[in-house]
């Protein structure tokens, strides 16, 4: 296991990192360095790249915080990025090498935010098994409400009524290139009023990210005449249309959001494998916002899990005795 080399990412490896992400079996555009680094001042990057015979065989998007290495805390998910044709042995040795390298850097443990399986382009569960061998602690589990679009269920009776109401109004859906109207008139006021928080991304950040990833980040708004009523910010990957932000004006009960989501599911993203509403969890996964959960379920969505592990780096030795 000692013929694998671990290298900490630096800017001179920008092209190699991004090209590896593009051909991976379990990566999305969130792992592109331009996405990871839009808020680089908030995190101390400690991403790692693993080489075997001078060939890049895995990558780990990460930042360091105290004496723990984290799946990058600026991303929704993480884990070990693997090439399309990775072998189980290569994954094992990559993980062993990362753990041993981290242990030698006096890093006590690694926090892993697993990539939900709907994003896998090929089966990629090697890490799930190896974390079991490493006696990793499953310390958090979120559920994300998702529709399998080739087996979509009917909307609930309430959703159908709301959609009928929407069709009686002269609503228009627009794909926007500027996020200002949705951010300033709908999303920010709603989040402040309901939760006392701001969006994870500022208006400046989301517009900048859209410029970098115009084919992956989309903004759909609903208008009645010239007034914006609702909108969805969608993060697109090869398999998944993920709703990053969803919001509507509460004083306009004309079914605008139902109208928009129906359009996205039935037309815009009908050829995707999954339509993902995101999590309904609070308190680090220990509670569920029931109203939000029920609203997502009313469109026919059901749960997938998003797992969070902590593994002690000293346990890297446990990976030496798997094969018999």
pLDDT at 267 over 90: yes
Q: Which residue has the tokens 């400690």?
A: 46
pLDDT confidence of residue 196: 87
- Among residues of the chain, what percentage have pLDDT more than 90? 87
φ and ψ of 322, to 5 deg: -80, -50
Could you tell me if 141 and 128 are in contact, meaning their C-beta atoms sit under 8 angstroms apart?
no
- Among residues of the chain, what percentage have pLDDT more than 70? 99
Q: What is the mean pLDDT of residues 247-251?
A: 82
Confidence of residue 2 (pLDDT cuts 50, 70, 90): low
CATH class of residue range 4-141+306-321:
alpha beta
pLDDT confidence of residue 166: 86
Close Cβ partners of 152 (under 8 Å, ≥ 6 residues apart): 265, 300
DSSP state of 156: P
What is the tens place of the pLDDT at every residue in 61-120? 999 998 999 999 999 999 999 999 999 999 999 999 999 999 999 999 999 999 999 999
What is the value of pTM for the model shown?
0.94
pLDDT confidence of residue 285: 92
Other beta carbons within 10 angstroms of residue 267's beta carbon come to 10
Burial string for 10-35 (b: 16+ CB within 10 Å, else e) reads eeebeeebeebbeebebbbbbbbbeb
pLDDT at 151 over 90: no
pLDDT confidence of residue 174: 97
CATH superfamily of 154-299: Gcn5-related N-acetyltransferase (GNAT) (3.40.630.30)
Question: What mean pLDDT value characterizes the chain?
Answer: 95
Confidence of residue 141 (pLDDT cuts 50, 70, 90): very high
Q: What is the mean pLDDT of residues 266-270?
A: 95
Q: Where in the chain is the domain with CATH 3.40.630.30?
A: 4-141+306-321, 154-299
């Amino acid at each position: 296991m000692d013929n694998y080399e671990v290298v900490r990412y630096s800017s001179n490896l920008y092209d190699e990192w991004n090209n590896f992400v593009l051909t991976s079996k379990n990566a999305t555009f969130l792992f592109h360095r331009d996405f990871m680094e839009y808020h680089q001042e908030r995190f101390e990057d400690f991403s790692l790249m693993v080489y075997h015979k001078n060939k890049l065989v895995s990558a780990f998007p990460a930042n360091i915080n105290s004496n723990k290495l984290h799946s990058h805390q600026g991303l929704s998910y993480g884990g070990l990025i693997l090439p399309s044709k990775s072998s189980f042995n290569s994954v094992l040795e990559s993980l062993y090498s990362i753990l041993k390298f981290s242990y030698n850097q006096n890093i006590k443990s690694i926090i892993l935010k697993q990539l939900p399986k709907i994003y896998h382009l090929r089966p990629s569960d090697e890490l799930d098994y190896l974390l079991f061998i490493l006696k990793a602690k499953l310390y958090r589990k979120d559920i994300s409400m998702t529709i399998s679009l080739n087996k979509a269920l009917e909307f609930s009776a309430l959703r159908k009524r709301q959609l009928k109401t929407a069709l009686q109004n002269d609503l228009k859906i627009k794909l926007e290139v500027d996020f200002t109207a949705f951010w300033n008139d709908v999303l920010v006021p709603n989040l402040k009023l309901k939760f006392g928080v701001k969006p994870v991304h500022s208006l400046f950040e989301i517009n900048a990210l859209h410029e970098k990833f115009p084919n992956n980040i989309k903004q759909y708004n609903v208008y009645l005449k010239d007034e914006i009523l609702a909108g969805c910010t969608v993060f697109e990957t090869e398999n998944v249309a993920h709703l990053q932000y969803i919001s509507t004006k509460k004083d306009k009960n004309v079914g605008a959001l139902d109208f928009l989501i129906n359009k996205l599911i039935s037309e815009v993203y009908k050829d995707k494998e999954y339509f993902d509403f995101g999590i309904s969890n609070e308190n680090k996964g220990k509670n569920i916002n029931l109203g939000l959960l029920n609203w997502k379920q009313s469109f026919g969505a059901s749960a997938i899990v998003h797992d969070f592990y902590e593994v002690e780096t000293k346990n890297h030795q446990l990976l030496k005795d798997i094969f018999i």
